[in-house]
Amino acid sequence: MRRGRRLAVDVGEARIGVAACDPDGLLATPVETVPGRDVPTAQRRLAALVAELEPLEVVIGLPRSLSGREGPAAARVRVFAQETARRVAPVPVRLVDERMSTVTAAQGMRASGTSARKGRSRIDQAAAVVILQSALETERVSGRPPGECVEVVV
């Protein structure tokens, strides 16, 4: 397992959840929810978080259907990841499968007593935590970085 903090991003149409882990990759915690409708502003905020937190890499959840296919949401996230990679270079950006992350996060929040209405902005952060925990576990088990690296296109 590589040592270093990671930043995880759950890209939604309205909001973008951000989570980070400790340098040992043991615990993922929520960081903030970035408004997602204004993509250039959201990209600037993510770049600022990368500069502030100095992660080893940025992990972005790639939404796929249960069958593994990619639809319009995945295409949108791929474009978002490309722009993120360009803005935060030389910090690598990786796309990881995020199937069921929001569902898992919502179930966890309900179990802790947080209502959907109250937790709307926090659900995105919780989904980013789920994405990051999954990526960390994948690396722990396989010994390799999770997902696919996003190439920077200039």
Under 8 Å between Cβ of 70 and 79: no
Half-sphere exposure (CA, 13 Å, Cβ side) for 65? 5
Q: Taking the domains of the chain in order of start, what are their residue ranges?
A: 6-149
- pLDDT of 43 reads 95
**119 pLDDT band (50/70/90 cuts)?**
low
- pLDDT of 102 reads 58
Residue with tokens 């690598």, as numbered in its chain: 92
CATH of domain 6-149: 3.30.420.140
Instruction: Report percent pLDDT > 90 for the chain.
Output: 69
* Residue-wise DSSP of 71-121: -HHHHHHHHHHHHHHHHHTTS-EEEEE-TTHHHHHHHHHHHTT--TTTTHH
Which of these, 14, 13, 52, 12, lies nearest to 31 by C-alpha position? 52
- pLDDT of 95 reads 97
Which of these, 122, 132, 110, lies nearest to 20 by C-alpha position? 132
> Of 10 and 113, which is predicted with more confidence?
10
Lowest mean pLDDT among 16-25, 85-94, 103-112, 122-131: 103-112
Lowest mean pLDDT among 36-40, 98-102, 125-129: 98-102
- pLDDT of 133 reads 94
- pLDDT of 71 reads 86
Q: Report the chain's mean pLDDT, rounded to a whole number.
A: 88
- pLDDT tops 70 at residue 5: yes
Tokens (6 digits) for 142: 């396989």
- pLDDT tops 80 at residue 67: no
Q: What are 43-64's pLDDT values in tens digits?
A: 999 999 999 999 999 999 999 8
Q: What are 21-32's pLDDT values in tens digits?
A: 999 999 999 999
